[in-house]
Amino acid sequence: MTLFVKSFPVGPLQCNCSVVACEETKEAVVIDPGGDVEKILELVKDNGFTVKFLLHTHAHFDHIMGSSKMKEKTGAKICLHEKDKFLYDNLKQQCGLFGVKAEDPTPTDHFLNDEEEVKIGNFNAKVIFTPGHTPGSLCFSVADKESILFAGDTLFNHSIGRTDLWGGSFEDIIDSIKGRLLTLDDSTRVVTGHGEDTKIWTEKRENPFLQ
């Protein structure tokens, strides 16, 4: 069995979107489809994947802008944490503050819970509840030849997510990172919500916000 993982920037703020798929069954999830839907769909089609779920690390507009169209094109279920529903439902208002146009979002299909496992063919993505950047922020952990954490805007390369936006909390994000993420294996690769990947080992020792 082999896990396919491809991450690339999409949308107006270049959010990192990830396509994660089981090579054997061709079942896939898309994490944070924040825009450039045709680019995402082309990758899915070229590899013969069937997208089952659209997983959201949180519901800021730059991570959810492509979700409705992705659901329309693939039939995949839109999934996020219930505590971010107020952000998801207010997509148009969020976009308006940044001068971006958007339609009302398609309703959420499933609210994810901490420790829940989302099936990706012969693999599972584990849900990790990490509030702080938003009240319902999540990370997703998968493992094949290496352990990979899709951290959204909770943990960045030598930085952490903003906490001055809707529902953010500096205390909560630090607790989430130290209590839930830094306990992962040091070798875990971290796919961040924006910018370059990092490792748990690196952030544990070098991230100035965590010392």
The CATH number of the domain where 182 resides is what? Answer: 3.60.15.10
Q: Which residues contact 27 (CB under 8 A, 6 or more apart)?
A: 21, 49, 50, 52, 119, 120, 121
Q: Kindly tell me if the per-residue pLDDT of 1 is higher than 80.
A: no
% of the chain surpassing 90 pLDDT = 93
Residue 137 and residue 161 in contact, taking contact as beta carbons nearer than 8 Å: yes
At residue 100 the predicted structure's pLDDT band, cuts being 50, 70 and 90, is confident
Q: Which domain holds residue 111?
A: 3-210
- Bridge partners, 77 (sequence order): 53
Res 102: pLDDT: 84
Mean pLDDT for the stretch of residues 94-113: 91
**Which contacts qualify for 20-26: CB closer than 8 Å, 24 or more apart?**
20/120, 20/125, 20/142, 20/150, 21/47, 21/49, 21/120, 21/121, 22/120, 22/121, 22/122, 22/123, 24/121, 24/122, 25/121, 25/122, 26/50, 26/121
At residue 97 the predicted structure's pLDDT band, cuts being 50, 70 and 90, is confident
In three-state secondary structure terms, 38 is helix
Q: Kindly tell me if the per-residue pLDDT of 42 is higher than 80.
A: yes
Res 99: pLDDT: 86
Q: Is 209 left (phi over 0), alpha (psi -120 to 50) or beta?
A: alpha
Encoded tokens for 158? 């030598």
Res 103: pLDDT: 83
Q: Kindly tell me if the per-residue pLDDT of 195 is higher than 90.
A: yes
Q: What is the rounded CA–CA span in Å between residue 54 and residue 150? A: 13
Mean pLDDT for the stretch of residues 45-49: 98
Nearest to 150 by CA among 194, 86, 185, 201: 194
**Stretch among 23-32, 99-108, 170-179 having the lowest mean pLDDT:** 99-108
Q: Kindly tell me if the per-residue pLDDT of 47 is higher than 90.
A: yes
Question: How many distinct structural domains can be found in the chain?
Answer: 1
Q: Is 14 left (phi over 0), alpha (psi -120 to 50) or beta?
A: left
At residue 139 the predicted structure's pLDDT band, cuts being 50, 70 and 90, is very high
Average pLDDT, the chain: 96
Most confident of 100-104, 144-148, 184-188: 184-188
